[in-house]
Structure formats: structure tokens, C-alpha cells
Amino acid sequence: MTVAHDDPHVHRLFERLALLATDRQGDPDALHEQLVELAVANSPEVARYWKQVGTGVGVPADAYKDGGPHLFPDEPAVREFRTSGTTGAVRGRVRYTRLGLALKGIAIRANARRALIPDPVEPAVVVFAPSEEAAPDMAIAFDMARIREECGDPHYSASVIGAGGVDYDLLARTLDRAVADEVPVVMVGASFAYVNVCDRLEAEGRRWELPPGSRMFDGGGFKGRSRVMRVDDLRDSVRRVFGIERFGNIFGMTELANQLYDSSDEPVGPLGERPKAWQHFGGPRVRDPRTREFVTEGRGLLEITDLSLLDRPHVLLTGDLGIAHRDGVAIAGRVAGSTSRGCSLSLDELTGGQ
Amino acid sequence: MSVSWLPDWVGATESFTLSSGDDEWPGARPVDWALTGEGLRRAHERLRELPVRRIVDVVDVVAERWAKRDFPLRRKAVVDAVKVTGMSEETVDRALDAEVGNLRTGSLLAALERELGDPEVLDGFRGGTRAIGPRVTLAVFSGNVPGLPARSLVRALLVKSALIAKLPAKEPNFTAAFLRSLHEVEPVLADAVVATYWSRSDDTTLSAALEQADAVVAYGSDQACAAIRAKVAPHQVYEEHGHKLSFGIVTDAYARLHGPAEVARRIAADCSDFDQHACLSPQVYLVDRRHARAVAEHVADAMRRAASDCPPGTVDEDDAIVLQHRRINAEWRAASTASGEVWAASGLEWTVVLDDALLPLSGAGNRVARIVAVPDPAAAVELMRPYARHLQNVGLGAVGEEFWRIADQLARVGASRIAAPGEMSRAGFAWRHDGQPRIAGLVRWCDVENHPESAATEG
């Protein structure tokens, strides 16, 4: 028997999940069980999948290229995001219902409040991503807007990517004002955007010494990009241009509600990727590539549990490589389509992994 | 024992080491390639004096020794190949059976006659025509199947070409071992071969070796081949064995004739041979939809039996991550479509995927049998068409007139080999490898025309 979006049970579940996200209150294991029950009740395909692979095993992110499982398919979507489609031409669609989108917003704000600004100040939040109005189908625009609302002093904050790319004048005005009034700046945005911005500003010989307490957070990495940068090289170049000393990485996915922040500054991945830790709302774990058991050390398939996800199964196999470590899990890029052997080729190498 | 083979005449050398896990193998490579080229051309002149029948006889004697599984040089080569490739001993032995078994007098002569007519055109004018092989051939090998280098090495020697063999890092031991036994039987042949290694990024050595060659044979990925092709000069003969894709087809009539269990056994053999690392191995079997499920269910049993007959190799961590990722995606697809299903060993030893669409994919080596249901053979051929440029081998399970009709369509689409299901991985020596005559492709012809002497001979 399926459970409707407007069923009181779903509302109660929403309230409990929101409380877990904001105040860390509630029993995560019990909430996990309730989300499992909801997925089994509302999605026959998830029920069949879990029967085959074991209950609670992550649904592969590739499922969303074909539409994917939605737990409230009859409920109108209030927002539909497109996935980035980095591995090929196919871009998935991810639907959010009213409650689902509200919960995502709550989760993002709560994480940002905890991880982004530990100091008791309202910084200037400078977003290197399009605004929500400009890119309503981009999840990163939604996420960044929530971060800006939650943490940023509205007078000093700005989204500096417009229709024509980076608005360098707006960026300069925003930073100049923050420097003049000694307001710390928190930069958030796409990893690759920083590379372009720093390249250009360094070439023009422009730099800022941002006020103490300023920070830079990047997300998205370099998948599908022509240039790949080590974490510390990116940070060095941001340090040179903006005089920032504190950094962090944010892992978010269109399919997920919560964003994951670094749990330590120890380089763990091949490009120096920092680990992300398991928390009250779930987080990353690594499955052994041979047995599918969770491992506490070593490489395997990244699985993320997200106890703020109402519209889809809350456990996702992202298709990324995870490296389990004492301090959490470093996320080290997409799992390769395949490994080529001499003259032997696999079909999807020819089709871009569609 | 060294992975390289350098004849005594080679001058100064430098050493290199190839490693796999804790195992290391030393080797040496010539320092002066101009001097090496001169040596190879001198060795070619001695080789040219041998009649082609003598070369065939020598290769046959060596192949006969290598055909025995307990031949000491072979045992050593197998043990080394197991260490590097991770394949089981039985898999490597079967690969060598398939490759070395090809090199007997009957198949060597058959290939020569097929491509040259009279093999003795390699010894002198016959019927007013004469075939001349390259003085020196450079062959860049890949290591996905143990023993594979033997094929091109023997073709070069048959046309009396000296050879620079670039060993594959992923299976470096077979070639030198084979050349050692060749040397025992006929030093003139082995002394015309320099088998060594340099890294793929070592452009200087590749260019220096290439400068000495009249012909170039490249095996490997499209990218690896392109890097070599870019350096080939207009006067050099060039042969390429780049990326290839293979498929299987089972028609309604074939499935009814042989029954699902036997068809499954054949499919499982094709998907298990060489751990499916060969370009001859099928990525997908397109099976008539009336039989697809029954066949797939039996393939699961057959893969299990094939794994106990011939144990799968160890799957390294990178491959394991890829394979598990694919398997999970296939399991999701099976759960979310009406007709799909996945059967698999508890580990990564084998996987069977039943699906009704070619894409998205789940298979790429390491014994993944992917059965895709198709309405009819015409649909199967259409599914392959987008891959025409890379199409190589098709295991065609069809009967009678229908077999020839589909074979004709496949030939036109781009297949270069059609074999029976269960026989896909054992390509004969006479097969025109990747669609071209590979012995005739190396030679240059000289015809005597419009000459009274020719008329007199012909008379």
C-alpha cells in the first residue's frame, strides 16, 4: 500500500527528519528504518532491487538517468533539477516535492550554519555559481542560495556569476566593500569556477587581502573538465589572489539533500581530497568492491546515506570512488567506465558511458 | 630469466626492470639503434637464404615443443604470465594452446597458400612473380592475451623479415622464452629478432627503433596505435590492430536445434575464455527473445561450471570497482524493468545479465555474459551497426540458409570473422586478422611482364 505525500504519516516523518537535521534530535536508526519502509511501500522497483541486493543498499545514481525511483510520483514536483551529466550526454532529472524541497533547504541551512561559519559573525557570502533565478534547474544554485540566506549578511553578499559568466565588477565591488568594513568573506562555489577566476585575476595582477576569518569552500571537483587540479594547488591559487587562509570542500549532488563538509584537513585522496565524516544525518561510507561489505579502510564504491531525503530512496551509490579513512571518506572522482586491455574495448568506451 | 631476447651480435645495452606486485623481471635493450638496425639487416640477409619450407619446418618443431604443457620453457612462461596477468594457470595454458597450436606446418602452409598462392614466391621467381618481405619489421605488442605476439612474430619470419618486437609490459615473458627455443632449433631465425621493452612514454626509443623498420605492426588501444601511426613514414608498410569489439548472435532456429543448455554452454565458453580479455571475446550475446530467458538461466550454470573447469583470474582492485559498479547498475536495471535479471557468483568470478536493451551496459571483461533479447536476427545486426568501425568477431548461432544470409549482412556491416558460438576465441592462423591479409600485407611483389624470358618460363 503506497503512502501519499499528504498522508499524516509523511508529515510526521518530515517533522522528525527536520528535527534531526536542525537539532540532531531523534534516533537515526529508527528514521532509517522508516525511510526504508516508505521506499519499499511506494516503489515496487526499489522493493525488487533490495530483495535482490539486500535491503538498504544504495540505489545507483545512474538510475536517475532513466528517471529513477520517485517515492511520490503522483505528487506534483515543485522543482525539477537536472543532473550534470558528466559521464556522457545523458542528463538525468530529479524531482522534488513540496516537503522534499523544504527538507533539503532545512538540511543545507543547518549544515552551513555548523560547518561554514563557526565564528559568531555574519560574513559576506560570495557565491561562484549562478543565482537561483538564473538557473532554476541547477541544484547547486538552490544550495548556494540557501547558504547565502542562512549565513550571509545580505548587505555584503552577492552571487557573482551572471548570464555572461563571472561578473568581475560585481566581484570587485563586493570584495572591496567587505575589506573596507572588515567583514570576513565566505566564498562558496564550483571548484572549476575558482580556477578560471584566479587565472584571470592573477593575469591581470589583481589581488585582495580579505579580512581575517575569511574562508573558501569549493564543490564539484573537476569531473568532465579538461584540467584537473590538486586540492592544495587550487587553495594556493585562491590564497595568492584573495589572501584567504582557511579552506574546505563541499560534496553535494543533485540527487541528495545534505551536503558533506570536510571532517579533517588531512589529504587522503590522490589529488589531496579531504575526508568527510559520518554524522547524525548519515553521510559517506565505502563498500568493498568484491563483497559489498562496508570497509573502514581502503578504496571502494561510495555510498551516501541521507536522512533528509524524502522524495527518493535515502541511500545512494553515487558512482564515485570512495577512500575510507580514520577521519571519514575521501571522495576521489568517478568510477571509470572500464579499464581498457590492449585491443579489447568495451562498448561503453565507444558510447561515453551512456 | 631476462624478459628480453637479444642475439649475441647486439652491442652495448642498457638494463630495465619490469615488475608486477613483488615480482621483478630484468631485461636489456640496445643502446645504439642505428647499429642494431645494421645488425638486423645482416641477420635478414642470412634469413633470406633459408627456403620458406625450412622456416615453416623450424616453427613447426618449436610449436610442437611448446604444444606440450610440461615443456619446461612453457611451464616457466606460464608461471610468469600468471604472476603478471593475474590469470589462472589453466587460463594461460589454454591461451597458449590456442596461439601455439596455430603454428603447425598445416596451418602455416595453409595461410601462406591462401595469401600468396605459391609460398615459394618468397624464395625466388615462380610463374614470373616474386614476393619480397621487409628487411626489418617493428611490432609493438599488447599483453591482453598470453602468447598473442607469436602470431605476428611468425608472420614476419615467414616472409623472411628481421624483427624488433616491443614487449608488452602486461605479459612480457612469453616472447623471449619462445625465441630461446627457436634459437635451439635454428639460430638464423632467432638471431634476426630483437625483443625488448621501452616505456610507452619513451618517444625517443620508439622513434629510433621505428627508423630501422620497413614495416610496422601495432597492437593496442586506438590511442596507443594513433601515437605510433603518427610516426610512420610514407615508405613504411603499416598494420594496425586497434580497439575491437565482438558480439554473439543466437537465432530461434539455432536455439531450437541445440537447446538452451547447449547454447548456454557455448556462450559461457566464449565469455569465459581468456577471462574475456581478448578482443575476440563477445561483449554481448544477442539472443532471440523467445529463448533469451531460458538461455540466460542456463548460462548462469554454465558460467559456474566453466569457472570450476578453468578458474577465473584475480581481478585487481581497479577492475573490481568497475565490475561491482556495473553489476549494481545491472541489478538496478533488472529490478526496474519487467524482463531483466542478474545472476552472479558470490564473488566477482562471473556475472550473467539478462536485459532487453543493448545500452546501458554492464559488461567489459572478467567473465560478464550479457544476454540481450532481440526480436529477430535483423534487429541484432542493426544493433551492431553503430559499432561497425570497431566490429571484429561474431559468434553466429544460425542454421543453413539463414546462417549465410546473416553472415553476409555482418560481413557488409564490418565483421572480419564469423565463428560458431563456443569457438569465438580460437582464431586460426589463416584468418585474415582484422580483415586484411597479414602475410601478403607485409610483402612487395615483383612481376616479370612482357618479356620473352617470362613467356619461355610460362611455356
Q: Encode pLDDT of A248-261 as tens digits.
A: 999 999 999 999 99
Q: Which amino acid is at B362?
A: S
Residues in CB range of A87: below 8 A, 6 or more apart:
A223, A224, A319, A334, A337, A352, A353
Does the CB of B348 have a partner CB in chain A at under 8 Å? yes
Collapsed DSSP state (helix, strand, coil) of residue B170: coil
**Residue B263 CB-density burial (10 A; 0-12 exposed, 13-18 middle, 19+ buried):** buried
Confidence of residue A220 (pLDDT cuts 50, 70, 90): confident
Q: Which amino acid is at B394?
A: V
Helix axis angle for A98-111 and A8-23, nearest 10°, is: 10
Does the CB of A60 have a partner CB in chain B at under 8 Å? yes
Does the CB of B244 have a partner CB in chain A at under 8 Å? yes
User: A99 to chain B nearest CA, in Å?
Assistant: 25
How far is residue B364's CA from residue B383's CA, in Å, rounded to a whole number?
A: 17
List, as ranges, residues 29-48 from B with C-beta within 8 Å of A: none
Least confident of A80-89, A259-268, B165-174: A80-89
Fold adopted by B13-243+434-447: Aldehyde Dehydrogenase; Chain A, domain 1 (3.40.605)
Q: What is the 3-state secondary structure (H, E, C) of A66-98?
A: HCCCCCCCCCCCCEEEECCCCCCCCCCEEEECH
How far is residue B11's CA from residue B8's CA, in Å, rounded to a whole number?
A: 8
- What pLDDT is recorded for position A353? 37
Q: How many CB pairs under 8 A join A and B?
A: 143
Taking a C-beta distance cutoff of 8 angstroms, is the pair B309, B327 a contact?
A: no
Give the CATH number of domain B245-427; options: 3.40.309.10, 3.90.550.10, 3.40.50.2300, 1.10.3720.10: 3.40.309.10
Does the CB of A10 have a partner CB in chain B at under 8 Å? no
- Residues from chain A that touch B142, judged by Cβ atoms under 8 A, are 341-343
Q: Which amino acid is at B443?
A: V
Section A192-210 average pLDDT: 94
Section A153-174 average pLDDT: 93
Listed in order, strand segments (DSSP E) in A152-274 are 158-162, 165-166, 185-190, 215-219, 246-251, 260-261
- Residues from chain A that touch B243, judged by Cβ atoms under 8 A, are 340, 343-345, 349
| A333 or A321, greater pLDDT | A321
**Residue B365 CB-density burial (10 A; 0-12 exposed, 13-18 middle, 19+ buried):** buried
C-alpha cell recorded at residue A266: 588531512
Minimal CA–CA distance to A93: which of A102, A79, A84, A83? A83
Q: Do A344 and B277 make contact, defined as CB atoms within 8 angstroms? A: yes
Q: Do A347 and B359 make contact, defined as CB atoms within 8 angstroms? A: yes
How far is residue B421's CA from residue B398's CA, in Å, rounded to a whole number?
A: 9
How far is residue B125's CA from residue B441's CA, in Å, rounded to a whole number?
A: 19
How far is residue A2's CA from residue A208's CA, in Å, rounded to a whole number?
A: 56
**Residue A336 CB-density burial (10 A; 0-12 exposed, 13-18 middle, 19+ buried):** middle
Residues in CB range of B396: below 8 A, 6 or more apart:
B248, B249, B403, B406, B407, B410, B418, B419, B420, B421
List, as ranges, residues 195-214 from A with C-beta within 8 Å of B: none
Q: Across-strand partners of B16? A: B27
Selected residue of B144, B325, B352 to mutate for chain A interface (largest A Cβ count, 10 A): B325
How far is residue B34's CA from residue A265's CA, in Å, rounded to a whole number?
A: 54
CA angle B56-B58-B60, nearest 5°?
70
Q: Which helix (H) or strand (E) holds B129?
A: strand B129-132
Q: Do A345 and B168 make contact, defined as CB atoms within 8 angstroms? A: no
How far is residue B301's CA from residue B352's CA, in Å, rounded to a whole number?
A: 10
Q: Which amino acid is at B401?
A: E
Q: Out of A337, A343, A346, whose CB is closest to B142?
A: A343
Q: Which residue in this structure is represented by grid cell 551496459?
A: B361
Least confident of A15-29, A56-70, A212-226, B311-325: A212-226
Q: Encode pLDDT of B302-325 as tens digits.
A: 999 999 999 999 999 999 999 999
Q: Across-strand partners of B419? A: B395
Residues in CB range of A27: below 8 A, 6 or more apart:
none
Taking a C-beta distance cutoff of 8 angstroms, is the pair B126, B447 a contact?
A: no
Helix, strand, coil percent content, chain B, rounded in steps of 5: 50, 20, 30
Q: Where are the domains of chain A?
A: 100-274
- What pLDDT is recorded for position B221? 87
Q: Where are the domains of chain B?
A: 13-243+434-447, 245-427
User: A315 to chain B nearest CA, in Å?
Assistant: 13
**Residue A111 CB-density burial (10 A; 0-12 exposed, 13-18 middle, 19+ buried):** buried
Taking a C-beta distance cutoff of 8 angstroms, is the pair A129, A159 a contact?
A: yes
How far is residue B59's CA from residue B100's CA, in Å, rounded to a whole number?
A: 10
Residues in CB range of A160: below 8 A, 6 or more apart:
A126, A127, A128, A166, A167, A170, A171, A174
User: B67 to chain A nearest CA, in Å?
Assistant: 25
CB half-sphere exposure, B315, CA atoms < 13 A: 26
Q: How far is CA B135 from CA B139, B163, B228, in A?
A: 13, 8, 19
How far is residue A208's CA from residue A187's CA, in Å, rounded to a whole number?
A: 13
pLDDT above 80 (res A120) = no
Does the CB of A1 have a partner CB in chain B at under 8 Å? no
Residue of A nearest to B329 (CA): A60
Residue of A nearest to B384 (CA): A347
CA angle B3-B6-B10, nearest 5°?
150
Residue of A nearest to B143 (CA): A342
How far is residue B256's CA from residue A204's CA, in Å, rounded to a whole number?
A: 74
Q: How far is CA B99 from CA B138, B241, B391, B427, in A?
A: 20, 16, 21, 8
**B124 alpha carbon, distance to own chain's centre:** 31
Residues in CB range of B241: below 8 A, 6 or more apart:
A343, B142, B217, B218, B219, B220, B225, B279, B433, B434
How far is residue B261's CA from residue B269's CA, in Å, rounded to a whole number?
A: 12
Selected residue of A255, A347, A354 to mutate for chain B interface (largest B Cβ count, 10 A): A347
How far is residue B356's CA from residue B82's CA, in Å, rounded to a whole number?
A: 36
Q: Across-strand partners of A301? A: A287, A321
- Low-confidence stretches of chain B (pLDDT < 70) are 360-364, 455-459
**A249 alpha carbon, distance to own chain's centre:** 10
Residues in CB range of A118: below 8 A, 6 or more apart:
none
Selected residue of B148, B240, B315, B321 to mutate for chain A interface (largest A Cβ count, 10 A): B321
CA angle B282-B304-B326, nearest 5°?
55
Taking a C-beta distance cutoff of 8 angstroms, is the pair B174, B146 a contact?
A: yes
Q: Across-strand partners of B390? A: none
Q: Do B320 and A62 make contact, defined as CB atoms within 8 angstroms? A: no
Kind of pairing between the strands at B245-250 and B129-132: unpaired
Residues in CB range of B204: below 8 A, 6 or more apart:
none
pLDDT above 70 (res A343) = no
Does the CB of B87 have a partner CB in chain A at under 8 Å? no
Confidence of residue A348 (pLDDT cuts 50, 70, 90): low
* CATH number of the structural domain A100-274: 3.40.50
Q: Do A343 and B242 make contact, defined as CB atoms within 8 angstroms? A: yes
**ipTM associated with this complex:** 0.92
How far is residue B244's CA from residue B415's CA, in Å, rounded to a whole number?
A: 10
How far is residue B155's CA from residue B59's CA, in Å, rounded to a whole number?
A: 11
Does the CB of A348 have a partner CB in chain B at under 8 Å? yes
Q: Report DSSP state, residue B213.
A: -
